Amino acid sequence: MIEVVLNDRLGKKVRVKCNEDDTICDLKKLVAAQTGTRADKSRIQKWSNIYKDHITLKDYEIHDGMGLELYYN
């Protein structure tokens, strides 16, 4: 179980608990549950790498406490 920090640079900063083998899509669902936006409207990035929905956090090498950027579509 890892905890990831999502920051949207506009005031929303959420900490989300998830498993390593969750996909980005699942992470978006968890974020949507916490922030209130729609899951398919959000976009998770690291610099200019847009993270794809079907890949797991483990494959993206996202570790505990790492910060990700939250953008909207």
Indicate whether 55 belongs to the interface with other proteins (CB under 8 A): no
What is the three-class DSSP state of 50? Answer: strand
Indicate whether 70 belongs to the interface with other proteins (CB under 8 A): no
Q: Which stretch binds other proteins (CB under 8 A): 5-13, 23-31, 55-63?
A: 23-31
Indicate whether 64 belongs to the interface with other proteins (CB under 8 A): no
Rounded Cα distance between 4 and 19, Å, is 10
Task: Decide whether 11 or 48 has the Cβ nearer to other proteins.
Answer: 48
CB within 8 A of 70, min separation 6: which ones? Answer: 6, 7, 8, 12, 14, 31, 42, 43, 44, 45
> Which spans of this chain sit near other proteins (rule: CB under 8 A)?
1, 17-20, 22, 26, 29-30, 33, 38, 40-41, 43, 50, 52-53, 72-73
